[in-house]
Chains A and B, each alone.
Chain A
């Protein structure tokens, strides 16, 4: 067989999954997005290990420190392993601004697998091993520090963990709500459909900001941070499920008159079996796409809530909380490195969007 024929064979024999993957690969941005998301989730999973410092440890000798400069050439111009220099805090008398001046003599190489701030990995293992760090008195602040002297790189990693997980949990809740309510609505029709449709309409027409504000402001204040976190995800998911429900309903309405459904019914299949075994799989791919595109909405919603002051609050550290801390003119004017969390948000949102678009293109059996 010549190469042409081989390729044709492969194509004909390929499973759906492989076909989807090949089509997905064509969309370069989607692939990059997938890599990015995978990387971010990996980093946030291992953030205790990857971050050189704890997210709350205050280095109060180094408040508002600009990102550390990593050098590879020493004073004589020789190539060395990457190192940082120690810095000294200096107060500019004229502008009363804090400045950090590098001490030019000593070299503090960046070491790997160092012992640093202790942590409890996911609440299970105690350890103090960090991927990289440097010796005291130098510090390695890759993204600088904030007003309390906390390392922004570590905070971004921990913040991503909270934000990414809120996205997942919130979307999962939306998915459940959307599937169940949309399913009932589409499959049974009649008055359940009417009621659910009205509810969907009411929620859709309600401006989201007041809904969020009212709900989160009414949370009892003495709730522990974790409860607040879950409450916020529930609130966010309450808005998101309507789109999913509408989509599910639409699909079910068009599919339930199909012949294979009739056949299953005549064969004696119960409603549950019909829904789960026959109908749902036909549009699983669409569900996956919707879900993927809903995650960035959750994340952006969380940042909006935090901006309004009613979302997550310190000491929980999410990307929204980090953004709120940078939300003032002083930061933009004097300490712009505190805006780096924005790039994390942008990266995450873009990545999810591209993955979703790629998936949508890939699962559509009629695209070229």
Chain B
């Protein structure tokens, strides 16, 4: 037979195809770099090589300054278990994330589609992401959360409102291992933004392969009972929650697999709570180096917050904002910066104002309720307050007096609302109060229409000195126009208890939601019990009318408008609708803003790089998570 030794045509085709593939998809052949400590472990056979640990196309993070070098220990400090919030914010890896300028970016989901009606969300997960123990992360893990945790009455007594805005959970299905589909009954316009918030991290922090040993549905009953007895939990549900709860388990249970850049080695609340690099972290920098650069994060336990400030000044903290905020600390940090042990990076608060006054519209005394519900009263208060004095004393003159309106950088900014009734004009204030019929008695104090003296108590939390100071200034300003005001500084539990059950007259609280108005609307209309100016209307809203107090029609209209916004897909239309709410606030001045505060600071070591020049300070934007701590690195100080 005369057969030439040559490639069969099919093989030719395959080779061509392979070449095409090699050209078009070079990442398969690209070399990744890893930290020396990990390389050593690969050599000794404890870890698979880096390209096996990383996904085929890992998420690329662009360094702020330049690609960094491996190594170093990031020193921080904390005051105990209740202070773990700081650590949680450093480890920020939800399904989608916030960018440093507050826009939604891909993270674990590298792309998504939303149907035209806004009801169906399809997420495509990055393929090849592994948990910190090497097991693959797939849509199964997200499904596990919805099917086996959320829907299990023992584990979840009630459904979080942000996942079920209209009462029911979305239908969640997986199309394949890396595609997950969520379908709501009604359009949910801000669902994507909700997924970038810290409360949504829970979706991607339940590793099924690890947690199913604690779940009644999957575990061997005998083994489960043994575990329950061993850990001294009273039921399997309690054991499950303890092993996995999003608040603390990550830092208490070193065997819980995680997707974050660092993994707990010595759990809290140890004197030195240590986290070290996750060898399976699925991000690289632009030069192909596996992140994070920094080897370990160490949290030092301190009993007293003041010692943390002292540590920062002494240069014993590498990058931290937690426990170092507030004017009192800022002043010292700024004064000591020139000693050269650290530098400061400002973080701008997204609160509309540092503090606002919330008169209680749900007051239990009908006379007082009438007075507080009178728009003229609130406008009078606003004119009676000397914001310049507050600004000078509390903020060294660096703050900006304004109402509790959306901030300039927000899409809902409204200049009229920002400046409404802002002038310090005690004469105008007195005139308004006189018109209301609140006559002054012999001692100069005003009296209620029924003849009894008008006494207003101002509730404020005692633990933050500047808040108490502001309260005192406000109280003396109000006394200046004849309103007998007394400051009630109380512990936080007491404050919460009183204000959320509408037992107060007026309360002082920060103006949350200056940038993220739709996600945090509590000061724009009674959204929940956190709307301290009308907590019972807030309960009515949250329970769909089943509990709480029914609001007047104007507020009901705003609630309806918000619900409409939730199901409006068009961004322009949403802006228009929310504008209506803002206009109503401008006209009624339901809460009275004081001063927008100047920024607090991160203390950053001089030899730490890739830290941006500024950041936001907010809860929903869990700084410093969005500025990619995984690409911070230690270099030579300049």
Contact = CB atoms under 8 A, between A and B. Distances in A.
Query: Is A bound to B?
Result: yes
Interface of A: 56, 58, 60-61, 63, 94-98, 147-149, 217, 221-222, 224, 309, 313-315, 325, 327-330, 333-334
A147 B313 CA distance: 21
Nearest to B305: A328
B465 A97 contact: no
B472 A334 contact: no
9 closest A-B pairs (Cβ-Cβ)? A330-B332, A96-B334, A95-B335, A221-B490, A60-B392, A60-B393, A330-B328, A329-B309, A148-B393
B356 to A, nearest CB: 20
Contacts of B488: 221-222
A63 B335 contact: no
B306 interface: yes
Given A95-B334, A96-B331, A309-B463, A63 B476 contact: no
Contacts of B469: 147-148
A335 B177 CA distance: 62
B487 interface: yes
Contacts of A221: 488, 490, 494, 498
22 contacts: A56-B472, A56-B476, A58-B393, A60-B393, A95-B335, A95-B338, A96-B396, A98-B396, A147-B328, A148-B472, A217-B491, A221-B488, A222-B457, A313-B462, A315-B487, A327-B306, A329-B310, A329-B313, A329-B332, A330-B309, A330-B328, A333-B313
B429 interface: no
B338 A94 contact: yes
Given A314-B489, A315-B487, A330-B329, A58 B473 contact: yes
Given A329-B309, A329-B313, A330-B332, 17 more contacts: A58-B389, A58-B473, A58-B476, A95-B334, A95-B338, A96-B396, A97-B331, A98-B396, A147-B328, A222-B457, A222-B488, A309-B491, A314-B468, A314-B489, A329-B332, A334-B331, A334-B335
A114 to B, nearest CB: 23
B182 to A, nearest CB: 45
Contact of B335 (A97, A217, A314, A325): A97
Interface string B297-312: 0000000001001100
A158 to B, nearest CB: 15
Contacts of B486: 224
A35 to B, nearest CB: 36
Contacts of A60: 389, 392-393
Contacts of A217: 491
Contacts of B329: 330
B121 to A, nearest CB: 46
Between A96, A224, A330, the greatest number of chain B beta carbons within 10 A of the residue's beta carbon is seen for A330
Contacts of A61: 392
Nearest to B495: A221
Contacts of B463: 309
A202 to B, nearest CB: 27
A164 B525 CA distance: 49
Contacts of B334: 95-96
B393 A334 contact: no
B interface residue count range (under 10 / 10 to 19 / 20 to 34 / 35 or more)? 20 to 34
A96 B335 contact: yes
Contact of A325 (B306, B396, B465, B487): B465
A334 to B, nearest CB: 6
Contacts of B498: 221
B306 A328 contact: yes
A334 B310 CA distance: 13
Contacts of B392: 60-61, 63
Could you tell me the dominant secondary structure of chain B's interface residues?
helix
Contacts of A58: 389, 393, 473, 476
Interface in B472-510: 472-473, 476, 486-491, 494, 498
A314 B487 contact: yes
A313 B489 contact: yes
A97 B491 CA distance: 31
Interface string B442-472: 0000000000000001000011010011001
A94 B336 CA distance: 10
Nearest to B471: A314
Contacts of A314: 468, 472, 487, 489
A311 to B, nearest CB: 11
Interface string B375-398: 000000000000001001100100
Contacts of A327: 306
A63 B393 contact: yes
Given A221-B494, A329-B332, A149 B393 contact: yes
Nearest to A224: B486
A48 to B, nearest CB: 18
A333 B332 contact: yes
A147 B472 CA distance: 13
Contacts of A94: 338
Interface string B307-341: 00110010000000000000011011011111000
Contacts of A148: 393, 469, 472-473
A167 to B, nearest CB: 24
Contacts of B338: 94-95
Contacts of B337: 95
Contacts of A147: 328, 393, 465, 469
A310 B457 CA distance: 19
Contacts of B490: 221
Contacts of A97: 331, 335
A64 to B, nearest CB: 9
Contacts of B491: 217, 309
Contacts of A96: 331, 334-335, 396
Nearest to B391: A60
Q: Chain B CB within 10 Å — which of A94, A148, A217, A327 has the most? A: A148
Given A147-B393, A221-B494, A329-B309, A309 B462 contact: yes
Interface string B555-599: 000000000000000000000000000000000000000000000
A278 B256 CA distance: 77
Nearest to B331: A330
Contacts of A329: 306, 309-310, 313, 332
Nearest to B334: A96
A217 B462 CA distance: 13
Nearest to B469: A148
Interface string B390-411: 0011001000000000000000
Interface string B418-448: 0000000000000000000000000000000
Contacts of B332: 329-330, 333-334
B489 A328 contact: no
A328 B393 CA distance: 18
A222 B489 CA distance: 10
A329 B309 CA distance: 8
A309 B461 CA distance: 11
A260 B423 CA distance: 81
Contacts of B335: 95-97, 333-334
B331 to A, nearest CB: 6
A98 B395 CA distance: 12
A333 B392 CA distance: 21
Nearest to B490: A221
Nearest to A96: B334
Interface in B32-58: none
B385 to A, nearest CB: 14
Nearest to B396: A98
Nearest to A95: B335
A189 B306 CA distance: 52
Given A63-B392, A313-B489, A315-B487, A328 B328 contact: yes
